[in-house]
Structure 1
Amino acid sequence: MADDPYHLRTLESIDDFTRVLDVLAAAFGEDFPAEDLATTRSVFEPRRSHVIEHDDDGMVAHAAAYTREVTVPGGVIPAAHVTLVGVRPTHRRRGLLTRLMAHQLRDVREHGEPVAMLWASEGRIYQRFGYGIAALRHIIPGADKREIRLNRSSTPEAGRLRDASPEQVRKDLQQVYERVRPERPGWSSRDENWWSRLLDDSPSRRQGYTSRRALLFEGPARVDGYALWRRKGDWAETGPKGEVNVAEVVAATPEAYLALWEFLFSVDLARTVRYPFAAPDEPLRYLVNEPRALGDRVADSLWVRLVDVPAALSTRRFAAPVDVVIDVTDALLPDNAGRWRLTGDATGAACTPTTDAADLACDVADLGAVYLGGTGLGALAAAGRVRELRPGAVAAVAPRFGWHRAPSALDIF
């Protein structure tokens, strides 16, 4: 038998960054504008990037992760943010992706990260490796603001709105985001490099819109909220038909949230408002007088994979006391397989191996799906993915995995 011409290794130097991009350009069928590469390069971590090289063709496959934290119900934990995964079209169907993903999961576990998460180019790919849909996003594609009015239930709190260039108020943006992030499952940490990447406003990123603006709500003591947005002008025979495109709205108080959206729905010469990253429980839906006019549609966002089952389940909190034995299967990480007793509440949790009879049985992907509190255990049971081994176990346990805020995500990595 001929020697295997494919060799897996971990990168050691940023010097390989250009070769990685060449693989990804081939895999995704798109070029990367040169002006966008500086901020992408700044967050690239060579020692978390794994490649497969061919004896004759060089680098043909790649998978990486970013070292970040994520908010989970009741806490903030380290999480591998999996990214930049691709195989050259000429080397597909040879098991290269499976080799890479299995190797990466072992590496994530060695890094002490109990979970991995990603945005899936195609969900069918990552279910094979134990990832489950853990968060959804609501895309508001272009709400007609003439059909919508925001309802006030009280007198507005003293404060004012301020317009600025995002870089001018970067510290204010960071301060608000860090105030809100610990309460929002699915939100990721952002160091200085990630803020630079987020705020990068090179022309290739604008897609016909204006440069990005920051709208701040200044409360009595400090900045309590912000919106990042752009606009696009357009005209019809009947008059203006411009668009407001909102990247994110982060507010520490209801007053700030309402004031920001009131402005965004009142921009002159604009007829529609687009917001592609609304949360499943987005408060805007309960502020407008006609929710159907938002026209939102649902898409998946974060897919989560438990890499270390006991560590992952013991680091999140539970809406009500839970005591359950779960029989878990995991084809790629055998240490996760077996029966685990999970006990916990809103103050703490523990997950330990046990020989007791199981109440529920599921694959590790289903634990990933319920992990952030957004996917219902009952829905998975109805789909036949979670099996009830003790009558009544699903009804007793399902509410415990929920949380008071639905998981969401503001930035694609």
Structure 2
Amino acid sequence: MGAHQLRIHRRAVRFRDGTDFGTGAVRLRPAEEARGRVEEVYDRARLATTGWPGRRAAHWAVRLAGHPHRRGGATSLRYAVREEAYGAVSGYALYRHTSVPDGSGGADPVVVLAALSRPAYGRCGGSWPGSLVSWLGYEGAVDEVLPWLLEDSRAVRSAPVGRLWVRLVDVGRALAGRSYAVPLDVVLEVRDAFCPWNAGRHRLRGDGDGVAVCEPTTAPADLRLDVAEPGAAFLGGTTLAALGAAGRVEELRPGVLARTSAAFRGDREPWYPGGWAFPLY
């Protein structure tokens, strides 16, 4: 599952007329004051963001520790939080400063960002207090919203980066545990040399409203594929149709590949909030 590294020059951050930023403000807060509120925002935001995992206290402690030997010469994390007029926190940007004496006009803060509303996202994504650098940068989804809030979406430079790979260890349980965009009833013939209990035919049925069942069957297969393919499509980003076009999914009943691919898709591209500010360990 991919993400995009986004980079934009500060002078190019010009939002479209009428962009709603609400009444809140973004302020720098000490780590000890901000951490609990950051965790709360993350836990709420991840429920609407496919690919964001749950995090326990020990996990946060490691990710926010900021050991100097892991920072590559950058500063410790800065906590910029979006505070609403009534006191609640609706978003945050965690960033570091790096010194890049390359004549580009300053350092490039690398950021992880979460927000609970479009006004909070726009304010957190456009600038951070205390940052004097020329370039702003962070990782986001392949279909990140920030470019479309600006007068010129082309001002945002982006480059793809791989962040998360999904391997289905229990095909039946995994496919029954997610929802599907449209109703489907399909028999998948799965090959899996490493986890042989997955090999065979699985009948997957979903009602399009969040209820799904996947169970072994002897019925004729509609699609034949390796276990890597449902893993790639599991979070709703990579499509089975694209994998089929590459010859990685064999359609055994005409028309079923397109319908199954549509059922697996999500409304937004999934992504994992990794990156340099939150290293993957």
TM-score by length of structure 2 reads 0.91
Find the counterpart in structure 2 of residue 247 from structure 1.
Answer: 111
SS at 2:151 equivalent? coil
Aligned to 2:10: 145
Q: 1:241·1:269 contact (CA, 8 Å) conserved in 2?
A: no
Task: Give yes or no for the alignment of 1:402 onto 2:268.
Answer: no
Q: Label 1:404 to 1:218 Cα distance change in 2 as closer, same or farther (>3 A).
A: same
How far residue 262 of structure 1 moved from its aligned partner, in angstroms, is 2.5
What amino acid is aligned across from residue 124 of structure 2 in structure 1?
L
CA contact (8 A) 1:233 1:241 kept: no
Equivalent residues of 1:233, 1:270 under 8 A apart: no
For 1:89-238, list aligned pairs within 5 A.
Answer: 135-140=1-6, 142-221=7-86, 222-233=88-99
Shift of 1:290: 2.6
Q: Is the 8 A contact 2:98 2:107 kept in 1?
A: yes
For 1:184 and 1:236, the matched residues in 2 are separated by 36
Shift of 1:396: 1.6
State how far apart, in whole Å, the 1-side matches of 2:253 and 2:240 are: 15
Between the aligned partners of 1:225 and 1:157, the Cα distance in structure 2 is 12
Aligned equivalent of 2:170, options 286, 289, 308: 308
Q: Describe the superposition over 1:271-324 as per-residue Cα deviations: whole angstroms up to 9, x where unpaired.
A: 11121x211121112112333332211122111111011100000001111111
- Please list the CA deviations of residues 233-292 of structure 1 after superposition, one character each: whole Å capped at 9, or x if unmatched: 56678xx8112413311001111101112323x8664111121x2111211121123333
Residue 342 of structure 1: aligned partner: 204
Query: Hey, what does 1:391 align to over in structure 2?
Result: 254
CA apart distance, 1:406: 1.4
1:347-362 superposed matches below 5 A? 347-362=210-225
User: Given the alignment of the two structures, is residue 283 of structure 1 paired with residue 172 of structure 2, yes or no?
Assistant: no
**RMSD across aligned positions (CA):** 1.9
Relative to the length of structure 1, the TM-score reads: 0.63
Q: 1:301 to 1:235 in 2, by over 3 A?
A: closer
Q: 2 CA distance for matches of 1:174 and 1:288? A: 28
Cα distance in 2, alignment partners of residues 235 and 328 from structure 1: 53
Q: In the aligned structure 1, how far is the partner of 2:202 from the partner of 2:24? A: 51
| Structure with the higher helix share, 1 or 2 | 1
Structure 1 runs of 4+ aligned residues shifted over 3 Å read: 152-155, 232-237, 266-269
Contact 2:187–2:219 under 8 Å retained in 1: yes
How far does residue 155 in structure 1 lie from its aligned partner after superposition? 4.0
* Max Rg structure: 1
Letter in 2 for 1:336: N
Letter of the 1:262 counterpart: G
Match runs of 1:253-292 below 5 Å: 253-264=117-128, 269-275=132-138, 277-292=139-154
Counterpart of 2:107, as a letter, is E
Structure 1 residues 198, 167: CA separation in 2 closer, same or farther (over 3 Å shift)?
A: farther
Change (3 A) 1:323 1:247: same
Aligned-partner SS, 2:120: helix
Give the counterpart of 2:188 among 309, 326, 331.
Answer: 326
Q: 1:335 to 1:261 in 2, by over 3 A?
A: same
Relative contact order, higher structure (CA 8 A, sep 6+) = 2
Q: Is the strand fraction higher in 1 or 2?
A: 1
Gaps of 5+ in 2: 275-279
Residues 233 and 269 in structure 1, CA contact (< 8 A), matched pair in contact too: no
Say which is worse superposed, 174-183 or 197-206, in terms of deviation: 197-206
Q: CA deviation at 1:166?
A: 2.6
Residues 155 and 180 from structure 1, CA distance in 2 versus in 1: closer, same or farther, beyond 3 angstroms? closer
Contact preservation (8 Å) 2:167, 2:228: yes
The one-letter code of the counterpart of 1:223 is V
Q: 1:211: how far off?
A: 2.1
**Contact 2:147 2:155 (C-alpha < 8 Å) held by counterparts:** no
For structure 1, the 5+ residue unaligned runs are 1-134
Cα distance in 1 between the residues matched to 2:13 and 2:69: 32
Of residues 379-388 and 343-352 in structure 1, the stretch that sits farther from structure 2 once superposed is 343-352
Letter in 1 for 2:165: W
Aligned residues: 274
Q: Identity over aligned residues, as a percent?
A: 38
Cα shift readout 1:310-365 (whole Å, capped 9, x = no counterpart)? 10000000111111111111111121111111011232100011111111110001
Deviations 1:181-238 (A, max 9, x none): 111111111111111111112222332322211111112441100110122356678x
Does the CA-based 8 Å contact 1:227-1:246 persist in structure 2? Answer: no
